[in-house]
Structure formats: structure tokens, C-alpha cells
């Protein structure tokens, strides 16, 4: 799909000769009040639109749509009226609902290109750049399909090829163009993250993820990929990470991607993504119901790859390192057993009381390894705990940090992209839940505050640098009828990095 922004009068839009089929979208508020572009269109069409509204076929209810054909004195073959709800209630959420509805309505037609008047909408606290970015994300979200493993790909015609964002008064400025480019890069990063997440465990193995990272480095000269094998990890003393892979036939990998967008001397942001390509629980085997969803246990890794692709595409001027500890978690005669004690790369020993708390075991060694890149900031992203889903549901990711300022910056980036997180406590009082009689710590903290004690575990490996942890167990994928990866938190991470560059650090 192609996107552009242009100054244009809604009634004059003609689809480019080659495509010969188009649509103009304008907004209608609750009660039938027309948005600016709709007013212009209505005037040219001699009140054709206001007549329809008077008849009651379009009330302006939020996310309602109506397609009109051959509107008098309007060049475009179709007009899409989009209900926006009450003007006073047009906030980010309502806007996003409306835009998704518009995209679905557009895709149900055979329009090949569309001119959307969205930038003019008075969304609370947001500017036109934001409206355009969110529309791009909605366009990708509503067209996304994962059908590459069906023998006959679903035959829904993807005809919509070009989306233009219309401006009534001004020409698009550099800021708007930049927002558009960034939104497209983020949307494509989300597609990569979703594809990897949706792939089954028998395809998306640690080796497959490593291959993906190598491919990313081939397409982007600014990325360098290194893959460490189990014997290399052995030499580094990663006894914790290696304890997780012991039951699996698939070899574990430690994947590193280095993106250089700024001076070599500039300290990097390191993103560490949990890459468990299937989490059966190991000897502490999970119950059978919905176990298939544990193919999504590499969504942290997928978000690191998606974010790196996005920033490389943007050519963002900063240095970022991605680290992906990747393994399966399987039961077998060689698997780690409850009660086993292992030594992590940091030297700290861990009593593994539950082999299903494996995410923290691979992450702790990766976090220790991260220190070699002399990071400015380290952020890990992990589908870490079921407890986080109980705490925050599927709306917010759990956010933990050893620095409040960093936490705030991540919260802001989430708010900006509507890929939200919620700041959770990392108080000392929770740490004692990890006390072990036999090792420096145990890998579980009991049922109370399960997401917090998992973060506490990680905090013991991140004392040397500024660090944040995102528990994305509730946000990385959807279950049920709409089962599928969401691509989160690629928008949050990419926006955080964009904001860092804009701030000049």
C-alpha cells in the first residue's frame, strides 16, 4: 500500500487514470454536523449529503459508515461518510475506532485509491500528524492477514492501493511528511512482529529467528547480526539460559543485532527480547488448554526485530542493540528438574523451583551480556507472566524500571502511540519472596504479585545500568476467535526511540 499527503479539494478528487476507481472520505459528527471537508463536498453537491443526513440514513454515530455513489458534482466515483460521534467526545480512542471502521468500509468496496480527510479532525490533545499516523496504523491493522500456511490463500481482493490524506488549506509540511514515513515504518515493523509471532513453533524455532536477524542485516546495511551457539554461551557461563534449552531438540541461539545510526561513540539503547519459541512449561508442564498459544512466547523477540527494522527503515540517528536469547522450553529426560540449581553468567546462583518460570532464566543471562555494549539504557520486553494478564488484562503492558524518568518516557511513548503501558512497583519489600534456602535466589516468588516478583528477579541482573522491563504477556497477542499477534509494543518502542532523537539524547 502506498500513502501520501496532499492539499486538495474534496469534490475535485479524481482517481489517477491508471487506477480509475476512487473514494473520498469525509466526516460527520453526531447530530449530522458536517466536518469542514464534508461541508465543501455538500456545497458542491448541492446539499446531496445534508439531504441524506436529514433523511436519517447517516446520524454521525461513532464508527458508522455510509458509501455513496455518483454524488452530483463530485469527481470521485464514491464518497464515504464516516460517523465521528459527538465532537466533544472525539478523543484518541474514539478516533481510532472511527478510523478502523472507515478502513474496513473502504476495503469492502473495490476502490483502488482513496482520499481521506482525517487530518482536519479535532481530536482532543492531538494534531494532524497524529491523526495521519494512527490512520496508517489502522490501514495496516485492518488489512493484515496471516494466510501463508493455508494451502489456498484466502481470496479477499486487496484492491486498495493508494491512500492519500487530504488537507484543505495548507500544503503538507516536513513534520507531516516525517510523521507519515515514520508511521509506515512502524506499521511494517508491526507486520514483521506479527508474522513471526503467528508462525507456529515447528517453523519459528530459535534457528529461524536467527535466520530472520541475518536477513534483516542483509536488507539493511546499518544492521550487523551475530549469532552465538550453545558452545559459545557455555564459554560465557550462561548456565541459566542453557538450563532452559536442555529438554529441547532445537539448539538455543543468542542473537545480537547492532544498528548504527549515530556516531560510534554514542552509547546504545539495548533492547532485550524474550525469544522462547515454544513454552510447554518443561517438567513443570503446563495444562493442555490453550497451550498452543505458547508459540507466542517469542513475541518480545519479535518486537525487537520489528523495532529494529522500523528504525533502520527510518534511518533514525541513534545506536540501538537488539539481544534475543532464544530457546524452546520442553520436557524430556535431559530437561532441567524442579530443585536444580544453576549458576548464571553474573555468578549468582538460582534454584529452579518451577521450570515454567523460564523467561527470567533466559533473560537474566542476556541482561548480564547486555552490559558489554556499555548501554545508555536497557529495555527488556517479555511475555513474562500470566499474573500480568490478571493485573492489567489485554489493555496495558506492565512497565517496571529502576529509574522513574525512563519509566515516564516509556509511558509517554505508549500514550502517544496508544500502545499503552502501566507503571508497576518494583519495591524492595517484594524481593524477599525470592529468598532460597539453597541458592542466591529461587526463580519463583509464589502466587501473590507474580508479575512484580518476576521483575524483581530481573532487577538483580540490571543494577549496573538504567533499565526498564515491559511485561507484554497480556498485550502481545489476542486469543479466541481473533487469535493473532498484535505487533505490540513495536509502536511504543519505536516512538520512544524517535523521541530520544528529537530530544537530542
Known catalytic residues are 286, 360
Q: How far is the CB of 169 from Zn ion (least distance, A)?
A: 52
471 near Mn ion, rule: CB under 5 A = no
In the block, cell 446539499 appears at 47
Q: Among residues 282 and 375, whose Cβ is nearest to Mn ion?
A: 282
The residue number with the shortest CB distance to ligand BES is 386
Give the interface with ligand BES as residue ranges (CB under 6 A).
279, 297, 354, 356-359, 383-387, 389, 444, 450, 473
SS3 417: helix
Name the one range near Zn ion by CB under 5 A: 187-195, 206-214, 291-299, 387-395. Answer: 291-299
Which secondary-structure segment (H or E) carries 220?
Answer: none
Interface residue with Mn ion among 30, 113, 258, 279 (CB under 5 A) is 279
Binding to Mn ion by CB under 5 A, coded x per residue (else -) over 315-354, reads ----------------------------------------
For the segment 356-375, give every residue that binds Zn ion (CB under 5 A): 359
Q: Among residues 319 and 451, whose Cβ is nearest to ligand BES?
A: 451
Question: What ranges make up the beta strands (E) of 330-387?
Answer: 341-343, 349-351, 377-382
The residue number with the shortest CB distance to Zn ion is 279
Axis-axis angle for helices 128-143, 92-107 (nearest 10)? 50
| Structure-block grid coordinates of residue 365 | 543471562
Interface residue with Zn ion among 120, 297, 313, 419 (CB under 5 A) is 297
Specify whether the CB–CB gap between 23 and 79 falls below 8 A: yes
Q: Among residues 104 and 286, whose Cβ is nearest to Mn ion?
A: 286
Interface residue with Mn ion among 30, 113, 120, 356 (CB under 5 A) is 356
Q: Among residues 15 and 245, whose Cβ is nearest to Zn ion?
A: 245
SS3 293: helix
The residue number with the shortest CB distance to Mn ion is 356
Angle at 225 between CA 379 and CA 497, to 5 degrees: 35
354 binds, among Mn ion, Zn ion, ligand BES, none (CB under 5 to 8 A by kind): ligand BES
Residues 6+ apart with CB under 8 A from 106: 23, 25, 80, 114, 160
Q: CA-to-CA distance for 135 and 149, rounded, in angstroms?
A: 29
Specify whether the CB–CB gap between 263 and 313 falls below 8 A: no
Alpha helices in 108-238 (DSSP H): 128-143, 174-198, 206-219, 230-236
Q: Among residues 386 and 484, whose Cβ is nearest to ligand BES?
A: 386
Q: Among residues 67 and 291, whose Cβ is nearest to Mn ion?
A: 291
Q: How far is the CB of 361 from ligand BES (least distance, A)?
A: 9
The residue count for the chain: 505
Q: How far is the CB of 299 from Mn ion (least distance, A)?
A: 13
For residue 225, list its beta bridge partners.
257
Site for Zn ion (CB under 5 A): how many residues? 4
Q: CA-to-CA distance for 389 and 404, rounded, in angstroms?
A: 23
In the block, cell 472520505 appears at 25
Q: How far is the CB of 302 from Zn ion (least distance, A)?
A: 14
Q: Distance of alpha carbon 450 from its chain centroid, rounded? A: 24
Residues that bind Zn ion (CB under 5 A): 276, 279, 297, 359
Amino acid at each position: 500500500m502506498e500513502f501520501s499527503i496532499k492539499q486538495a479539494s474534496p469534490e475535485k478528487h479524481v482517481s489517477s487514470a491508471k487506477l480509475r476507481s476512487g473514494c473520498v472520505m469525509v466526516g460527520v459528527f453526531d447530530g449530522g454536523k458536517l466536518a469542514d471537508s464534508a461541508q465543501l463536498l455538500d456545497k458542491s453537491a448541492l446539499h446531496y449529503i445534508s439531504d441524506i443526513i436529514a433523511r436519517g440514513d447517516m446520524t454521525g454515530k461513532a464508527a458508522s459508515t455510509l458509501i455513496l455513489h455518483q454524488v452530483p458534482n463530485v469527481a470521485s466515483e464514491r464518497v464515504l461518510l464516516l460517523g465521528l460521534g459527538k465532537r466533544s467526545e472525539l478523543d484518541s480512542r474514539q478516533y481510532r475506532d472511527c478510523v478502523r471502521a472507515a478502513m474496513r468500509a473502504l476495503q469492502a468496496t473495490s476502490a483502488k485509491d482513496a482520499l481521506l480527510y482525517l487530518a482536519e479532525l479535532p481530536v482532543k490533545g492531538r494534531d494532524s500528524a497524529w491523526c495521519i499516523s494512527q490512520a496508517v496504523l489502522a490501514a495496516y491493522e485492518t488489512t493484515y492477514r496471516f494466510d501463508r500456511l493455508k494451502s489456498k490463500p484466502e481470496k479477499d481482493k486487496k484492491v486498495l492501493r493508494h491512500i492519500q490524506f487530504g488537507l484543505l488549506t495548507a500544503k503538507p509540511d516536513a513534520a507531516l511528511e516525517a510523521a507519515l514515513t515514520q508511521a509506515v515504518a512502524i506499521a511494517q515493523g508491526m507486520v514483521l512482529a506479527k508474522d513471526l509471532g503467528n508462525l507456529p513453533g515447528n517453523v519459528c524455532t530459535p534457528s529461524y529467528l536467527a535466520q530472520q536477524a541475518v536477513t534483516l542485516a542483509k536488507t539493511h546495511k546499518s544492521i550487523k547480526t551475530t549469532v552465538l551457539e550453545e558452545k559459545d554461551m557455555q564459554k560465557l557461563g550462561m548456565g541459566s539460559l542453557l538450563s532452559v534449552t536442555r529438554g529441547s531438540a532445537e539448539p538455543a541461539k543468542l542473537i545480537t543485532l547492532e544498528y548504527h545510526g549515530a556516531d560510534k561513540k554514542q552509547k546504545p539503547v539495548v533492547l532485550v527480547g524474550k525469544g522462547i519459541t515454544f513454552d510447554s512449561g518443561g517438567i513443570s508442564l503446563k495444562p493442555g488448554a490453550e497451550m498452543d498459544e505458547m508459540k507466542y512466547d517469542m513475541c518480545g523477540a519479535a518486537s525487537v526485530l520489528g523495532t529494529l527494522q522500523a528504525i533502520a527503515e527510518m534511518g533514525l540517528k541513534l545506536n540501538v542493540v537488539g539481544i534475543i536469547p532464544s530457546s524452546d522450553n520442553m520436557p524430556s529426560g535431559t530437561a532441567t528438574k524442579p530443585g536444580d540449581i544453576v549458576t548464571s553468567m553474573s555468578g549468582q546462583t538460582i534454584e529452579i523451583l518451577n521450570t515454567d518460570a523460564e523467561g527470567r532464566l533466559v533473560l537474566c543471562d542476556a541482561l548480564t551480556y547486555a552490559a558489554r555494549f556499555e548501554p545508555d539504557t536497557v529495555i527488556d520486553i517479555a511475555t513474562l507472566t500470566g499474573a500480568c494478564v490478571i493485573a492489567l488484562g489485554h489493555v496495558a503492558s506492565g512497565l517496571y524500571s529502576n529509574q522513574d524518568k525512563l519509566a515516564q518516557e516509556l509511558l509517554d511513548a505508549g500514550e502517544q502511540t496508544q500502545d499503552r503501558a502501566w507503571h508497576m512497583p518494583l519495591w524492595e519489600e517484594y524481593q524477599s519472596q525470592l529468598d532460597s534456602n539453597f541458592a542466591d535466589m529461587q526463580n519463583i516468588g509464589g502466587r501473590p504479585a507474580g508479575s512484580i516478583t518476576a521483575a524483581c528477579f530481573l532487577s538483580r541482573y540490571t543494577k549496573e545500568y538504567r533499565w526498564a522491563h515491559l511485561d507484554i504477556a497480556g498485550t502481545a497477542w489476542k486469543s479466541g476467535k481473533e487469535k493473532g499477534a498484535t505487533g505490540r509494543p513495536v509502536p511504543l518502542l519505536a516512538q520512544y526511540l524517535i523521541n530520544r532523537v528529537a530530544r537530542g539524547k
